[in-house]
Amino acid sequence: MKEVVIVSGVRTPVGRYMGALKTIEAYDLAALVMNAAVERAGVDPADVDEVIFGQAYQNGEYVNIARMGLLTAGWPDTITGVTLDRRCCTGLDVVRFAASLIQSGDAEIVVAGGVESMSNAEFYLPGNIKWGVGGTGGMPRGHGDLSIWGLRFYDRIQRARVMSQPEYRFGVLPSMMAWAETAAEVEQISREACDQWALESHQKACAAIAAGKFSEEIIPVPVPQRKGDPILVTQDENPRSDTTLAQLAKLKPVLGGVCTAGNSSTENDGAAAVVVTSREKAEALGIEPMATFKACVVAGDDPRHAYRTVAVAADKVLRKTGATIEQMELIEIQEAFAAQVLADLKEMGVGPDDYGKVNVNGSGISLGHPIAATGTRVLVSLLHEMRRRGTRMAMECICGGGGLGIAGILERK
C-alpha cells in the first residue's frame, strides 16, 4: 500500500463570529487556501486529481463548497470536488478520505481541507412549509409565492446542534455543551480545573503569536472596505492576553454546571488546506514531505456521551499502527470544552505530567472553532510545530456532534 504524505499546509487566520472575516464568503476563504496550498507545494492546480473539502454549515449559497471553491480559485473546470460533513471531525476526516484515494491508486494528488463562515450561516425556514404553499404563475404546488404566516424560523448553527441526533431516540441536546457537562460529572472534572485549562490555552496561543509561530502557516485575508484599499487580516482574532483566572471565575455556567463562555470554544470563521500525495509521487516531483499521514480512524458513541469517542478513536489508531500513547511527542485534542479535554485526557491515560505536550500552541478555547475547518487548521499548525521541534510522532484527535470521534497519527522520518 502506498505511503501517504502531506507536502504542504496553510490556513487563514481564525476570525471571531461576526468579526473581521464576516464579509468574506466561504468559497472565497476556500479559494484562498486552495491556491496557497498548491503554490507552497509547487503543484500545478491542473495536476490535482480531486478536491475534498468539509463544511458543516452548508446552505443555499454554498452548494458543494469543494467545487465552488476550486472554481472560485480559477482552477480548470475539469477538476472535481466533493464536500463532506462529519461535524467537528470533518477537517481531519477529509484528509483520511484523501489518503484512501492515494492508497487505492484512484488519485495521485488531492487537495483536502475545510472551511466555515459561521458568521454567514443561514437563517432558514423548514422545508415542510412547502406543503402549505400554493403554486402561482404556472408553478406547481410546493413552489411559488410564500403567502402563509406563523412559520418557524431557524438559526442553522443552533438548530444543527439539536438535530445532530434524532430527538425520539436521544432526547433534545440543546447544545454540545450538554455532553461536556456529562463528561465533567462522570469524570469528576471541577470548574476550577476547567478555568485553569482555559487560561493556559489563551496563554499558549498568545505566546505562539508573539513568537511568530503562526506566521508561516497563515495566509493573509484581504477584506474589502467601503472606501480605500482592502485591510489584510493576518492574525487570529480570538486569543486574549488579558485573560485571568479571576475573570474566568466570574462567568456564570451556561447550563448550571462547570462550562462557561470562558472555558468553551467559540463560533468562528476560517479555512485551511493541505496537499496530499504518495511519497513516491512527492519524490518524483522533488517535494519534501512535511510528514507521513500514518493512519486515521473514526469512532462512534451515544451522542449524549460524545466525549468518549476521543479515547476510543485514539486507542484504535494506536493499535492500528502498533504505536503507544507514550510515543506521541505532541498531542492535539480539539478544545470544544475544557471539561471534555480533561475528561478525554483522563480516559486516554495522559496525566498532568504530560500536559506539556498537549495543545502546545492553544486550541479551540483560545484560537477558535470554525467547525469543519478546525481539523485541518489543527493539522496545519501541528505539521509546522513538528517541523520546528523535529518531532517524530504526533497525534490529533477530535470529538464531534452526533457522537463522533476521530484520531490520526503523523510521523516524520
List active site positions: 88, 369, 399
| Cell numbers describing residue 127 | 422545508
Give the type of residue at 367. Answer: L
Residue type, 15: G
CA 247 from centroid of its chain's CA atoms:
27
Residues in the chain: 413
Do residues 381 and 389 lie in contact, with contact meaning Cβ atoms separated by under 8 Å? Answer: no
Please, what's the b/e burial string for 339-355 (b: 16 or more CB within 10 A of its CB; e: otherwise)? Answer: bbbbbbbbbbebeeeeb
C-alpha cell read off for 179: 455532553
Could you give the C-alpha distances from 4 to 15, 103, 266, 397, in angstroms and in order?
Answer: 31, 7, 32, 19
Could you tell me if 15 and 22 are in contact, meaning their C-beta atoms sit under 8 angstroms apart?
yes
Read off the C-alpha cell for 1.
500500500
Dihedrals phi, psi of 309, to nearest 5 degrees: -70, -25
CA 388 distance to own-chain centroid = 22
Cell of 351: 496525566
Helices and strands (DSSP H and E) totals, the chain: 13, 14
3-class state of residue 174 by DSSP: coil
- Find the helix or strand (DSSP H, E) in which 84 lies: strand 80-84
Query: In angstroms, how far is CA 263 from the centroid of its own chain?
Result: 18
